Structure 1
């Protein structure tokens, strides 16, 4: 329903609704409808410049010389919008936080941080990570454990192997997205087939056909760049990288994960270069993920806190079925966290999501705060919002403030407004109002109490008919009565 509302709001120019859907409900601005159109296209087509600019600032993809970019420019109702599209060179700093994982993978490919293998393709060098390539492509996994085993530099000199195609394939394996010039598509398809990436071959062939068909029917349009992305509903990238988190599990804890592990036993714990000891259980991980995703672990592994130890001196021995390549990696002992919670933290680090239940969400939230993982904190906030109840809403407001989760706090205020007759009877709620009132002492007498203002806003926001008006009036009277009982002027 939210997706339909986003497309409709872009067509009508309802910027407030668009903002609410994107920022409050996390609707993807690059989602596609059954006609393969994105919201930005409809905003351009209908001439809503404000909506176009908002979508661009929040991550809408509209690169020049691509199918989506040229389609938006061609269909734009006004020259002002066309100029805006053409001049928009970079994604704004206000890009939604949900895209941080994509940005992390993109930067990882560009920087080569913690790379453990270098491909030399006719003199051009590409730094990469064996764990990522193995998780994403069985062909690479097989070669790393056979022909390429133990090699840091791999020479690729075959005459059909071209650097630009190899770079595009790497881009796809890291980000789930491939971008290449139309003249190089044939080289990319050939290499994808060699790497046994048949799904990528199908995506490229479909995208090429769509692009050429569009270009042939639009005079003056020149598409020179082919962009291939997996469907927005596809989670194959996250799932395949999440295999690394599953493989990090100690053998004694594999029962946590439903089904069998995705790696053959001889390929388990692939290319780990750091271990974490939690409650006596050892998790074999990769610096490229834990360090680049968390400033806490980055500092920890640089030994700023002096907590790293060599596995050769650690009293806990390696499990007998682990690969010998993992025998000499550093071991970090983590305290004040359970193995179950740490596994969920690892799952988030590798695949940007994790399972959150009522029993674990608070503990995971505390760990996310300690380990400097704002994205995981945000996921916990969304999970808590879904668990809100009359008996827990005041506690959740306090948690939202403690952990700086404004979206959870706003969700709690809306819940209180919708359930005010029950909540207003609670002493905990009265105490919270008194605490907020203390914050305004010393200000002007006209200052109001924050929580009361927020609740009144949500009470008034749902008034659509006479019965709603009567219900809102009743709730506002309840608020006034509470403030009078507390001796407050709100």
Structure 2
């Protein structure tokens, strides 16, 4: 281990020591073996299963490590490739690593928290905020739980406690009904019938494995299964009862593989130490966490639309559904109502609080206001009201909060969504809106692109900002002939005159832009124009000066146009007088 600890990785280490080649039509295994990061990036963005095995029982990370392609290996690891030495695939990657620098990279990622999406990471934090769940997680293999993720809005232990506790062999597992209902038909049926009003459920069967059930419930929250090989057979039986059929099939297939994996193992390790790790992407899309919560959201929206006769108490903190109507609902387990522009939305506190620090604070304070209201009927839900937000924007916002994505978006809603993402502390929502908006930007006029550039710069939406700058740099003369572009130049800070102050490294597309290091728009436009149109390096400074002179000329034209416009308006007013 001392040899590994003395190795430091810098940018030069990620230059492959083996010749690289392009495989434009290769699969993820060929791209990893060749070190073709462009092809690999495309495949990963297309949703390829990064932990899939080929006909030789090898994963893509194995080939990247074997060939010593550090950049390809890091890309795979950041996308969720499994590298734990206690797993079959991870063990082979460590053993096949071409050099110690590759092993150092694997060790660094093994020590990091698992790469999870914002939704999965937020709910995992919520699960580990439950005292009993956190205690077992800390005890198992000496691991340390994630204390919270500011980007995801991780919840704190005291704010939103679990609403059901399972006891297996006397040991507790704390959970939330809505998550279990969304992931398992078995739990859904139980919570609608015999467990409907129970806060505790005690399992008497001695054969039921605590470790296996804990791993399954943890998987329900995080879409990532991490279980000892010894517990896999118990988990298969639990999956059969819980009707998690796709997970059951994967586990059964892996159990068969584990029988032969012993012959391929590189070390003699006890099965209690060996682990099986599964990312949710290995399952069909309909069985993953976002799709499960999307179904719950759709039921809640249908129930919200069905509510016609709502009674609200004097202070507006309670939403009361008539008993005649509530019997018609498919139970959505909603425990809070959000009122937006006179429309009621049935929602779930654990989802809202896990995803947004704003809602976590609102819901926590709401509980203080409702203390002592023991007279409330069973069909009453606490209600909060949101202002300065349209119904359509709120629908899109909760669609993202429940699913981590947006199926489509009206371009007219984009600005309101960027504003909502900032107000409700849902910063990853900006990137999701940008992804949905980019196809629309390919067909807009230069004048509209100017609007989107200013808007994206104001809200820090880097993807759209970079797209607009790229389009302007490649079609600069077209934009120079556009009055809106020239008018925009008057509203922007001037470019840096000193070459030492120029932005020489524009932000990478998709990267988060910090508020303290935002680039000057005209500096970044100049850099992109130089990359696209300028002469060779020895004439680069001359090209930059020519660009600056062109900008100065356009600004003078814009000032003249503004002056003429003001004079025109003044003369029109005189005529009216």
TM-score of the pair, normalised by structure 1: 0.79
- What are the residue-to-residue correspondences of 1:59-458 with 2, within 5 Å? 59-86=80-107, 88-91=109-112, 99-112=117-130, 113-220=160-267, 222=269, 224-232=274-282, 234-236=285-287, 237-249=289-301, 251=303, 253=305, 268-303=330-365, 325=378, 327-355=379-407, 356-388=409-441, 389=444, 390-438=446-494, 440=496, 444=498, 447-448=501-502, 450-458=520-528
Could you say what secondary structure the match of 2:402 adopts? helix
Distance in 1 (CA, whole Å) between partners of 2:184 and 2:364 is 31
CA distance in 1, matches of 2:454, 2:196: 53
Greater Cα offset, 31-40 or 396-405: 31-40
Matched residues in 2 for 1:396 and 1:104: separation? 30
Aligned-pair CA distance for 1:358: 2.3
Cα deviation per residue 1:377-421 (whole Å; 9 max; x = unaligned)?
A: 221122233322223211111111111112221121112223333
Deviations 1:90-145 (A, max 9, x none): 3379x6xx722221122222223431101111111011111111111111111111
Uncovered stretches (5+) of structure 2, i.e. residues with no partner: 1-22, 131-159, 308-325, 504-519, 537-541, 558-577
Equivalent pairs, count: 456
Q: Do the aligned residues in 2 keep the contact of 1:117 with 1:151 (CA within 8 Å)?
A: yes
Instruction: Tell me what 2:513 maps to.
Output: none
C-alpha displacement of 1:19: 10
**Shift of the alpha carbon at 1:173?**
2.1
User: Over aligned residue pairs, what C-alpha RMSD do you find?
Assistant: 4.1
Cα deviation code 1:11-62 (max 9, x no counterpart): 44466x489769xx95669635672765433321211235434654665431
**Under a length normalisation based on structure 2, what TM-score does the superposition of the two structures give?**
0.68
For 2:241 and 2:169, how far apart are their aligned partners in 1? 18
- Secondary structure of the residue that 2:433 maps to in structure 1? helix
Output the CA distance in 1 between the equivalents of 2:373 and 2:453. Answer: 44
By how many angstroms is 1:295 displaced?
A: 1.0
Structure 2: how far apart are the matches of 1:174 and 1:348?
16
| 1:153 positional shift | 0.7
Offset at residue 162 of structure 1 (A): 1.8
Shift of 1:89: 3.6
Conservation of the 8 A alpha-carbon contact between 1:278 and 1:339: yes
CA deviation after TM superposition for structure 1 residue 353, in Å: 1.4
* TM-fit CA distance, 1:170: 0.9
Change (3 A) 1:478 1:5: farther
Distance 1:290 1:105, change over 3 A: same
Query: Matched residues in 2 for 1:2 and 1:152: separation?
Result: 56
Alpha-carbon distance in structure 1 between the residues aligned to 2:367 and 2:227:
44
Taking the aligned partners of 1:305 and 1:172, their CA distance within structure 2 comes to 29
Q: Distance in 2 between matches of 1:217 and 1:74?
A: 12
Distance 2:232 2:367 in 1: 49
The residue aligned with 2:310 is none
Q: 1:207, 1:228 within 8 Å by CA — same for their partners in 2?
A: no
Asked if the contact 1:274/1:330 (under 8 Å) is kept, the reply is yes
Matches of 1:480 and 1:347, distance apart in 2: 48
Contact 1:290–1:298 under 8 Å retained in 2: yes
- Alpha-carbon separation, structure 1, partners of 2:174 and 2:353: 17
Q: Distance in 1 between matches of 2:385 and 2:393?
A: 15
Distance 2:490 2:254 in 1: 60
1:179 shift after superposition: 1.9
* Map of 1:318 onto structure 2: none
**Contact 1:310/1:330 (<8 A) preserved:** no
- Other structure's SS at 1:329 match: strand
Distance 2:215 2:418 in 1: 37
Deviation track 1:333-381 (CA, whole Å, cap 9, x = no partner) reads: 1222222221221111111112322243332222222211112122112
Contact 1:421 1:475 in 2 (8 A): no
Q: Distance in 1 between matches of 2:368 and 2:491?
A: 41
**CA-to-partner distance for each residue in 1:49-88, whole Å, 9 max, x for gaps?**
3543465466543122113311311322224323442454
Please state if 1:486 is matched with 2:555.
Answer: yes
Bigger shift: residues 149-158 or 207-216: 207-216
Q: Residue 230 of structure 1: CA displacement? A: 3.8
Moved more, 342-351 or 225-234: 225-234
More divergent stretch after superposition (109-118 vs 143-152): 109-118
Which structure has the larger Rg over C-alpha atoms? Answer: 2
Aligned partners of 1:273 and 1:285 also within 8 Å:
yes
Preserved contact between residue 45 and residue 76 of structure 1 (Cα < 8 Å): yes
Are residues 415 and 221 of structure 1, via their aligned partners in 2, closer, same or farther at CA, if it must alter by over 3 Å?
farther
Aligned to 1:47: 68
